[in-house]
Amino acid sequence: MAAARPRAADEGILAGMRARILVALTLVALAGGCVKEVTAVDVGRDHLCAIRAGTPYCWGRNDGDQVGDGSGYFQGQPTRVAALARVVDVRVGDGHSCALAADGDVYCWGRNFMGQSGGATREDVVVPTRVALDGRAAGIAAGAAASCAYMETGDLYCWGARPAGRHSGTPARVEGVEGVRDVAIETGRMCAVSGSGQVWCAVVGELNGAPTPIAELDDALAVAIGSAHACALRADGRVTCWGRNDYGQRGDAEQTEEKRMVDVPGIEDAVALSVGVNHSCAALTSGEVACWGSNSNGQLGRGDPPGDVGPPGVVRGLPLASAVSAGGDRSCAVTRDHALWCWGKSWEAQRADLSMPEDLLAPTRVQAFGEGDPRGLHKRR
């Protein structure tokens, strides 16, 4: 007998329970259970990070020290982030990274020209540095030149190119949104989900850019922002997208720049959501992952030759997954057996395999987790 889907009013309580369960399972793994398991991944434009046994690993472009190993060299394989452990989540922006520790502390490193990695100066942050937040964070986000964290109290703080404020490395509370349970930030925009399920969005870097509610989205569980489109995961499992659709990233067949909202056809049981520059992906209750939008580098994972556009469809050859991340022209998923699989653009930092120069048109498992190469591949500058 199929389980009944919870009422939207219950989802705020369930979301909090899920977050606490995730932390608890991570702590069990750290205590000596599944010490080899990957629990999270986040893909950016030029680098990505994953958590394995509570330890963050990053790889890819490193000219702003966004990999976190202190070398400043490009790293083609997963490289352990210096001096961080017991991490439960990680997020990457364009040139910087942030991690959420099990104790609620937030650490950031990498580019800092807007203060997005925190601190009093605008110099790059070479190794992970604790962000001066008042209280325990429950979730984090990193964007082009900004970072955000929502606290266990439901308050939302941002730093860097933040909403309704000047650029600063000092976290400031975002007024007007209460009980935040998810946040996303990208070039010029920030969106958050309040405790009631209402989606609020704001323009970052503007003094009057306070968040305003999106009336059509009052039952959301999560939100994700791409280069010029955004999507929300609804309480009933639907995914609703809005913004540009010139690559089909909104999910419907009309490839126009019209900003209207649409429910992605065929997606009715999503449990997780992520968007890249011009494509989007969702993890489903079945364990399958569906992607849609631009397939310029095989980022939809269907095994087909790279093409311009793809409608919503299931990624082929991927084991059952629990999480997905889309970034740039690449995609990755954490499978239910806690392995990391990636596909898409032919760039070593996404694949962690320097012997395969072509685009990955189908999912490939990432296995080479290590300390990284101190010599790197390309000098910083």
CATH number at residue 231: 2.130.10.30
Query: Is 1 within the bounds of a domain?
Result: no
Q: Is residue 378 part of a domain?
A: no
Query: What residue has token string 């469809």?
Result: 313
Which residues make Cβ contacts (< 8 Å) with residue 339, sequence separation at least 6?
A: 38, 319, 365, 366
pLDDT given for residue 299 in this prediction: 95
Q: Which amino acid is at 141?
A: A
17's enclosing H/E stretch is: helix 11-30
Secondary structure element (H or E) that encloses residue 184, with its range: strand 182-186
User: In the chain, what percentage of residues exceed pLDDT 90?
Assistant: 69
Indicate the pLDDT class of residue 359, thresholds 50, 70 and 90.
Answer: confident
Phi, psi at residue 10, to the nearest 5°?
-90, -10
- CA geometry: angle at 275 spanning 30 and 336, to 5°? 35
Contact 200, 213 (CB under 8 A): yes
Window from 77-91, 108-122, 204-218 with minimum mean pLDDT: 204-218
Distance CA 102, CA 138 (A): 9
- Mean per-residue pLDDT for 89-95? 97
Does some domain include residue 29?
yes
> In this structure, what DSSP letter does residue 76 have?
E
**For residue 93, what are its two tokens?**
């922006």
Indicate whether 262 pLDDT > 90: yes
Q: Inform me whether the pLDDT recorded for 163 exceeds 90.
A: no
Q: How many CB atoms lie within 10 A of CB 31?
A: 9
pLDDT of residue 351 exceeding 90, the answer is no
* Three-state secondary-structure class, residue 23: helix
Residue 298 in this model has a pLDDT that exceeds 80: yes
Q: What is the pTM of this model?
A: 0.86
195 vs 179: CA distance, rounded Å: 4
For residue 115, being part of any structural domain is answered with yes
Separation between Cα atoms, residue 108 and residue 284, nearest integer Å = 31
CA 360/CA 293 separation, integer angstroms: 17
| pLDDT bracket for residue 13 (50, 70, 90) | very low
Q: What is the pLDDT of residues 48-68, one digit of tens each?
A: 999 999 999 999 999 999 999
Q: In whole angstroms, what is the distance from residue 287 CA to residue 196 CA?
A: 27
Query: What average pLDDT does the chain have?
Result: 85
pLDDT band at 370 (very low <50, low <70, confident <90, very high): low
Residue with tokens 């997606």: 267
Domain presence at residue 2: no
Domain count, the chain: 1
Query: What letter would DSSP give residue 33?
Result: S
| Per-position b or e across 233-266, b if 16+ CB within 10 A of its CB | bbbebbbbbbbbbbbbbbbbeeeeeeeeebebee
Domain that holds residue 121: 8-366
**DSSP conformational letter for 357:** -
What contacts 183, CB < 8 A, 6 or more positions away? 139, 140, 141, 148, 149, 150, 156, 190, 191, 192, 193, 223
Question: Which residues 6+ apart lie within 8 Å of 32 measured at CB?
Answer: none
pLDDT > 80? residue 219: yes
Contact 342, 38 (CB under 8 A): no
Task: Report yes or no: 345 and 359 within 8 Å, Cβ to Cβ.
Answer: yes
Mean pLDDT over 184-210 rounds to 86
pLDDT value at residue 267: 97
Least confident span in 33-42, 147-156, 369-378: 369-378
Residue 310 lies in a domain: yes
**Any domain includes 33:** yes
Residue 357 has a pLDDT of: 53
200: in domain: yes
Q: For the residues 155-166, what does the mean pLDDT come to?
A: 82
